[in-house]
């Protein structure tokens, strides 16, 4: 089964982040600009949290807070659940299911090397199943 590092190599390891003291409005704008559902919250190179559209909806919108006046650190999820680059797709999916999260940072030592989404993992599983089906069909036909 594929590893986290292989998925990042295929999709690209772009890391979109924001500082904890930035306003939530900047985080929402960055997510919209990049077409993503979450941003890593970084203090320099240190991963301190993750902020998602779900955090925004539940902790800003539903509580009547101001996006411009609320800091990211006030709504981010922390501590962050992460995996190392050698984690299997199955391990990543299990962690995401257990923790009810949709974005999973991949961390090598102290360095963030990328982020996997639930969509990345589902795509990898579907592609693996398609390959297996094709191999079985070749076996049966041959």
Average pLDDT of the residues in 6-31 = 94
Of 41, 19, 54, 55, nearest to 112 by C-alpha is 41
Total tally of structural domains belonging to the chain: 1
pLDDT beyond 90 at 49: yes
pLDDT beyond 90 at 14: no
- Domain range for residue 65? 4-141
Q: Is the pTM of this model over 0.75?
A: yes
Q: Per the structure block, which two tokens stand in for 41?
A: 């919250």
Q: Encode pLDDT of 52-105 as tens digits.
A: 999 999 999 999 999 999 999 999 999 999 999 999 999 999 999 999 999 999
pLDDT beyond 80 at 13: no
Q: Per the structure block, which two tokens stand in for 43?
A: 């203090």
Of 74, 68, 29, nearest to 48 by C-alpha is 74
Please, are residues 40 and 112 in contact by the beta-carbon 8 Å criterion? yes
């Amino acid at each position: 089964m594929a590893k986290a590092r292989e998925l990042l190599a295929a999709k690209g390891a772009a890391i979109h982040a924001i500082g904890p003291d930035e306003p939530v409005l900047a985080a929402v704008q960055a997510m919209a600009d990049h077409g993503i559902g979450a941003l890593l919250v970084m203090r320099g190179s240190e991963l301190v949290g993750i902020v998602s559209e779900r955090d925004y909806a539940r902790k800003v919108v539903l509580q009547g807070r101001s996006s411009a006046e609320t800091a990211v650190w006030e709504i981010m999820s922390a501590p962050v659940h992460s995996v190392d680059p050698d984690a299997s797709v199955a391990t990543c999916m299990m962690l995401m299911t257990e923790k009810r999260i949709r974005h999973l940072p991949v961390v090598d030592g102290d360095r963030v090397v990328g982020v996997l989404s639930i969509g990345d993992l589902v795509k990898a599983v579907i592609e693996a199943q398609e390959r297996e089906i094709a191999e079985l069909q070749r076996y049966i036909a041959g």
